Amino acid sequence: MHSLNQLKSGELVGTTRLSLSEDITEFPMEILTLSDSLEVLDLSGNALRTLPVELAQLSKLKIIFASNNQFEILPEVLGQCENLEMVGFKANKIRLVPEQSLPIKLRWLILTDNQIESLPDSLGERPSMQKLALAGNKLSCLPNNMSKLHNLELLRISANNLTTCPEQLLDLPKLAWFAFAGNPFSAADLHIETVPHLASSSFVLHEVLGQGASGVISKATWHEAQNEYPAEVAIKVFKGQVTSDGYPKDELQVCLKVGEHENLVRPLAQVTEPDCLALIMALIPRHYRNLGFPPSLDSCTRDTFPGGFILPLDKIEKIITQMQNVFEHLHLNQVCHGDLYAHNTLFDDEGNIIFGDFGAASMYHMLSESQQAKIKKIEARALMHFMDDMQSLNAS
């Protein structure tokens, strides 16, 4: 994180990355002094409403983040930034996305958690688009020409007002990670009771085990001994009303719909109180560790792995076989995971895996047979990418 004082003093001349978060209400024009070098600009966590036309002078700018500000209109000047590839305006108050606001080279657009009711046709004219996050808006339809986004690989349209399944998306040739729950067309009025309800007062949270877009997972113990549950469990407490992947309540329901599988995190109970939504799960043994890491700004949609990380061929084949079984189990239950990645997979030294994080999962039993087949085909691409990534780790 940088400071305005550093910027104004000239201390940051030549920097390629700038991050400012000081409740700024107006764009600091001193940023323009970095026009010869600045590639990444992060203005998240301020109180900005507009960007100046002079932003286009930042000729090397590739990435801009302005999440958690006060924008009501996606600034048109973004479309004039000739090298801009990634635009992130999550959690603003954006209602309008002008035709001219989308850069020609755009490949990654994040407009999650805004108030957008419609999108411009120019969205379908961005052939480099790979990753598009639109969850948590008020979209009732999508541009038909999004069928031209032949390089789109990851799409989030959950938690909107889409009344019909957007057919123009289902045949996109590279789409592999697709989240669409929480729309009228995918409404699943289910109240699955495969596990019991417990009170949030029945347990005590301890150290955090992990967290993602939809919630925080902690180790927990019981206030009083429980005969039917282990002494220690893992509890995912969902946060907020909407996340980058959709509604937490949909995640809870889809976890229960999927049921038990030896390679999935095992659900034990649920909490559905007005101020607490949580899933109580079996604790994963300590010797399991992450199989991969999330995509980077450069890899965009593909997992990343530590340098030098390799696996023997027999372990790779075992991991792949288990993930193929998980895939078939999910789709037998008419669930699309939406985030089938190594970074959502834990493994041990024997090559056993546990797969989780259903934040982007969507039920699709309400769709037509043709649509269901296309949804499964989309996620089959994610499975193929997973297999390719695993085979690239071969030690031989």
- What mean pLDDT do residues 343-359 have? 95
**The pLDDT value given to residue 396:** 62
Residue from 213, 161, 240, 223 nearest 359 by CA? 213
Residue 238 has pLDDT above 90, yes or no: no
Provide, rounded to the nearest whole percent, the portion of the chain with pLDDT above 90: 78
Residue 244 has pLDDT above 80, yes or no: no
Any idea how long the chain is? 396
- What CATH fold (topology level) applies to the domain 4-152? 3.80.10
Is 289-391 assigned to CATH 1.10.510.10?
Answer: yes
Separation between Cα atoms, residue 312 and residue 269, nearest integer Å: 37
Q: Which residues contact 373 (CB under 8 A, 6 or more apart)?
A: none
Which letter, b or e, does each residue of 167-179 get, where b requires 16 or more Cβ atoms within 10 Å of its Cβ? ebbbebeebbbbb
Express each pLDDT in 76-123 by its tens digit.
999 999 999 999 999 999 999 999 999 999 999 999 999 999 999 999
- 183-192's contacts with Cβ under 8 Å and 24+ in sequence apart are 183/157, 183/158, 183/159, 185/366, 185/367, 186/162, 186/362, 186/363, 186/364, 186/366, 186/367, 187/366, 188/250, 188/253, 188/363, 188/365, 188/366, 190/253, 190/257, 190/363, 191/253, 192/253, 192/256, 192/257
| DSSP three-state, residue 210 | strand
Q: Is 236 annotated as a binding residue?
A: yes
**The pLDDT value given to residue 289:** 95
Residue 16 has pLDDT above 70, yes or no: yes
Return residue ranges of the chain for CATH 1.10.510.10. 289-391
Express each pLDDT in 46-68 by its tens digit.
999 999 999 999 999 999 999 99
**The pLDDT value given to residue 245:** 67
Return residue ranges of the chain for CATH 3.80.10.10. 4-152
- What mean pLDDT do residues 216-236 have? 89
Express each pLDDT in 168-182 by its tens digit.
999 999 999 999 999
For 200-282, the fitting CATH number among 3.40.640.10, 3.40.50.12240, 3.30.200.20, 2.40.50.100 is 3.30.200.20
